[in-house]
């Protein structure tokens, strides 16, 4: 009886989080924070605290954003002075990125391509590849990583972000027999050992891991707060970052700086 009740409560939380995330994206536009529908996390200031990868974006470096989506991260890299290109399969998302780059006066190249069919780019072209929130959405991850390695220079780096499935919250869901993945479209979420193995198959080694934010069942509510108030969202995000510094196993995701092997 108690197990069934607990499972019902947890299932409700999972469903509410999914709906809240979609609502938060809509709220950023409805409340005038963005011209397009974007997650509030993309509207935070371009600081190293909010965007860990910016520390590794060198002015003048050639950078490729693989799975760039609407180009929010691509544009942030461009503002750091990198020579930037982004690839993604979604024409609608690329259209958002193109409009945003024109509005910002940034010179960014966007290319529509299915990354699971390879990258239409010459080998050893880029100093840096940015790949955030992509691998968990594709099946042919070994192919994608081998293609990223191919287009990187031998001294290049891969800046990778993927979800962690081994947090206390996700283990609680797993014990209740509920879906563990934070997005129903995810094909995989990782333990650290699984991530290291997959990267090794693709020709990469993790040189440094950086903290993300504390994983919590309140994620959906925090997202909605962001859709309504960016200062409040910024405060909550900073709080989650302080919490994960204390409990690193509760990282919602892995942020990895990877070298070519």
113-160: pLDDT as tens digits: 999 999 999 999 999 999 999 999 999 999 999 999 999 999 999 999
3-state secondary structure of 217: coil
- Distance of alpha carbon 124 from its chain centroid, rounded? 24
Distance between first and last Cα of the chain? 53
**Does the pTM of the predicted model rise above 0.75?**
yes
Give the residue extent of every domain in the chain: 2-260
Which tens digits make up the pLDDT trace of 37-51? Answer: 889 998 998 888 889
Beta pairing, strands 108-112 & 152-163? unpaired
Q: Which CATH architecture has domain 2-260?
A: 3-Layer(aba) Sandwich (3.40)
């Amino acid at each position: 009886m108690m197990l069934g009740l607990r499972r019902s409560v947890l299932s409700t939380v999972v469903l509410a989080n999914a709906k809240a995330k979609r609502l938060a994206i809509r709220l950023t536009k409805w409340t005038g924070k963005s011209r397009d529908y974007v997650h509030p996390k993309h509207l935070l200031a371009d600081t190293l605290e909010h965007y860990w990868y910016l520390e590794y974006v060198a002015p003048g470096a050639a950078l490729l954003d693989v799975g760039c989506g609407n180009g929010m991260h691509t544009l942030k890299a461009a503002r750091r002075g990198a020579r930037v290109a982004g690839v993604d399969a979604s024409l609608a998302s690329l259209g958002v990125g193109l409009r945003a780059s024109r509005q910002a006066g940034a010179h960014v190249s966007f290319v529509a391509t299915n990354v699971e069919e390879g990258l239409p780019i010459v080998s050893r072209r880029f100093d840096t590849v940015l790949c955030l929130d992509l691998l968990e959405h594709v099946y042919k991850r070994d192919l994608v990583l081998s293609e990223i390695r191919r287009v990187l220079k031998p001294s290049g780096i891969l800046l990778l972000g993927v979800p962690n499935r081994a947090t206390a919250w996700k283990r609680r869901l797993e014990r209740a027999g509920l879906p563990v993945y934070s997005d129903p479209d995810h094909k995989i979420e990782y333990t650290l050992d699984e991530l290291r193995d997959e990267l090794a198959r693709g020709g990469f080694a993790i040189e440094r891991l950086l903290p993300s934010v504390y994983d919590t069942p309140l994620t959906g509510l925090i997202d909605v707060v962001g859709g309504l108030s960016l200062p409040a969202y910024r405060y909550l995000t900073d709080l989650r970052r302080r919490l994960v510094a204390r409990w690193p196993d509760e990282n919602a995701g892995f942020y990895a700086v990877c070298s070519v092997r």
